[in-house]
């Protein structure tokens, strides 16, 4: 007889159920099937995705959890009962639905986990989520209003253009040649090198910086040149020449250094967009030139209001652009800010220094400086959206947007300086005039003897 009888029966019972107990406590290995297996969602919207979770050893009350790699881009929640029923456990699978929310531009993955008594088992499968920006009515209004106002401002420029001076510029194109060296040699090389320093591990943002550097000069250069007292005729000539020559230089840089920056990008040069820009520049200017000849009084009035209208347009563009694209400020980092400052500010300095080296007068140097630093960020944004898929296209355009925001800062500072200096000079001149030409006191007849009367005689 066994000496521990009947305790051996209890021991044998425990030895039999222990493996079953351990098996019940161990989490099952689960897999997940998503339908659809990817989701493209607009910011601030959501999409429902069906999920089937399968596994061996599922138990009643096991809980299904949803996780995300980056909650700043997208997050999800179970949109059905998250706990398994006895029927689910018997069948070895759970059917449910998750609701995925789009928070901000980017890509992330949503995964599934099973939880039991604080322990978690994750499925290897995930659903790919892409969050993009919806097309909005305000974007269309902004684009249309900018096109309208820029057309009007170039009609004014046509009215103000002095055609004989433009002919002289073209006969001796020293200024335009200096501007083209800055625009099509310095700017691409500078943005290429600076991009490596600022974005060594982000080819997409480096590409965004380079694309901004190879774009032709922007129409705002003419406005700022006029406001700051530069050579407007030279500026208009350089903008036209820059835009025309961009047909050759843009493909040259894109298919050379551009491929080094982002070798896998399928980049196409937007010839249609560039042609549209050229037409949008030349047609309104031709209308202004025609008004000079056939309606000189109206042309004179257009020139008279040019400065105020130009200033109003610049303020409108800056404010409306910021309000329309507030979302993009969430992407701003110190690298983005430095890139945005570096593109126009280094262009300003190089253009002015090169012009002075070649002994150009201040007005010409100012026009060349502004033309070099101000890029057509609209063409850069178009290039990036053509070359990249979403959401990378929108994310990458933060570079030209940052450059557009930083572009007016030095010009605004110079304008404020000019205004303050003008006020100080005007006050000094008034004071000097008063000192040099004092007003003779005038008194009424009947003043004391020896005082000059109103008729100028001594009494």
The candidate with the shortest Cα–Cα distance to 67, out of 100, 34, 112, is 112
The candidate with the shortest Cα–Cα distance to 83, out of 96, 64, 66, is 64
Same domain, residue pair 118 and 44: yes
pLDDT for position 165: 64
Can you give the CATH number for the domain in which 388 is found?
Answer: 1.20.1530.20
Same domain, residue pair 301 and 244: yes
Same domain, residue pair 173 and 296: yes
- 243: containing domain: 137-406
Q: What is the pLDDT of residues 207-247, one digit of tens each?
A: 888 888 888 776 678 788 888 888 888 887 787 777 667 76
pLDDT for position 158: 74
Last residue of a domain, one of 82, 105, 132: 132
Find the mean pLDDT for residues 384-389.
68
How many CB atoms are closer than 10 A to CB 249?
17
Domain count, the chain: 3
Query: Where is pLDDT greater, at 189 or 25?
Result: 189
Residue at 288 is within a domain: yes
Determine contact, residues 107/67, Cβ cutoff 8 Å: no
- Residue in the block written with tokens 């008594």: 117
Q: What is the pLDDT of residues 317-339, one digit of tens each?
A: 667 767 777 777 878 888 899 99
Query: Where is pLDDT greater, at 273 or 102?
Result: 102
pLDDT for position 458: 43
pLDDT for position 310: 65
Residue at 364 is within a domain: yes
- Using pLDDT thresholds of 50, 70 and 90, give the confidence band for residue 349: very high
Q: Alpha-carbon torsion 235, 181, 174, 373, what sign?
A: positive
Query: Where is pLDDT greater, at 1 or 107?
Result: 107
pLDDT for position 457: 47
pLDDT for 448 beyond 70: no
Predicted TM-score (pTM) of this structure: 0.65
Same domain, residue pair 118 and 178: no
Residue 117, helix vs strand vs coil: coil
pLDDT for position 376: 77
Quote the percentage of the chain above a pLDDT of 90: 7
Rg (CA), the chain: 36
pLDDT for position 5: 58
Q: What is the pLDDT of residues 9-33, one digit of tens each?
A: 555 555 555 454 444 445 567 788 8
pLDDT for position 189: 92
Last residue of a domain, one of 132, 149, 175: 132
Same domain, residue pair 436 and 338: no
pLDDT for position 456: 45
Same domain, residue pair 236 and 331: yes
Residue at 7 is within a domain: no
Same domain, residue pair 128 and 166: no
Same domain, residue pair 124 and 49: yes
Same domain, residue pair 162 and 296: yes
Residue at 328 is within a domain: yes
What does pLDDT average to over the chain?
A: 77
pLDDT for position 450: 47
Same domain, residue pair 311 and 449: no
Residue at 23 is within a domain: no
Residue at 15 is within a domain: no
**Residue 71 CA: distances (Å) to CA of 35, 102, 409:** 21, 9, 35
Can you give the CATH number for the domain in which 89 is found?
Answer: 2.60.40.10
Same domain, residue pair 249 and 357: yes
Residue 225 in tokens: 């040149």
Last residue of a domain, one of 95, 113, 132: 132
Residue at 2 is within a domain: no
Residue at 4 is within a domain: no
Listed ranges 3-7, 167-171, 302-306, 360-364; the one with the highest mean pLDDT: 360-364
Same domain, residue pair 119 and 200: no
């Amino acid at each position: 007889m066994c000496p521990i009888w009947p305790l051996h029966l209890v021991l044998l019972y425990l030895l039999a159920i222990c493996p079953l107990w351990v098996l019940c406590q161990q989490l099952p290995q689960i897999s997940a099937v998503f339908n659809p297996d990817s989701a493209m969602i607009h910011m601030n919207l959501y999409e429902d995705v069906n999920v089937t979770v399968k596994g061996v050893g599922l138990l009643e009350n096991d809980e299904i959890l949803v996780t995300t790699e980056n909650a700043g881009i997208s997050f999800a929640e179970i949109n059905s009962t998250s706990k398994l029923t006895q029927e689910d456990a018997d069948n070895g699978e759970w059917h449910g639905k998750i609701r995925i929310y789009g928070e901000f531009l980017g890509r992330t993955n949503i995964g599934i986990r099973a939880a039991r008594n604080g322990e978690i088992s994750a499925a290897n499968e995930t659903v790919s989520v892409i969050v993009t920006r919806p097309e909005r009515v305000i974007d269309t209004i902004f684009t249309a209003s900018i096109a309208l106002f820029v057309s009007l401002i170039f009609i004014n420029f046509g009215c103000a253009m002095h055609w004989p001076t433009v002919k002289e510029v073209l006969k001796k194109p020293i200024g335009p040649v200096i501007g083209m060296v800055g625009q099509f040699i310095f700017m691409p090389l500078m943005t290429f090198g600076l991009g490596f320093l600022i974005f060594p591990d982000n080819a997409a943002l480096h590409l965004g910086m380079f694309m901004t550097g190879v774009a032709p000069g922007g129409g705002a250069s003419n406005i700022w040149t006029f406001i700051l007292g530069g050579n407007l005729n030279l500026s208009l000539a350089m903008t036209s020449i820059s835009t025309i020559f961009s047909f050759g230089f843009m493909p040259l840089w894109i298919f050379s250094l551009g491929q080094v920056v982002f070798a896998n990008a399928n980049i196409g040069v937007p010839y249609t967009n560039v042609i549209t820009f050229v037409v949008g520049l030349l047609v309104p200017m031709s209308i202004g030139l025609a008004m000079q000849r056939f309606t000189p009084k109206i042309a004179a009035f257009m020139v008279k209001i040019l400065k105020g209208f130009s200033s109003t347009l610049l303020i409108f563009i800056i404010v409306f652009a910021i309000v329309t694209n507030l979302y993009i400020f969430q992407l701003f980092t110190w690298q983005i800010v430095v890139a945005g400052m570096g593109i126009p500010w280094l262009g300003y300095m190089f253009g002015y220094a090169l012009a002075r080296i070649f002994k150009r007068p201040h007005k010409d140097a100012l026009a060349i400086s502004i033309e070099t630093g101000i890029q057509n960020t609209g063409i850069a944004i178009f290039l990036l959206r053509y070359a990249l898929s979403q959401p990378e296209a929108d994310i990458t355009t933060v570079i030209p947007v940052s450059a557009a925001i930083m572009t007016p800062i030095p010009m605004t500072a110079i304008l404020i300086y000019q205004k303050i200096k003008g006020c100080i000079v005007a006050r000094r001149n008034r004071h000097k005039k008063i000192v040099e030409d004092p007003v003779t006191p005038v008194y009424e007849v009947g003043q004391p003897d020896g005082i000059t009367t109103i008729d100028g005689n001594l009494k």
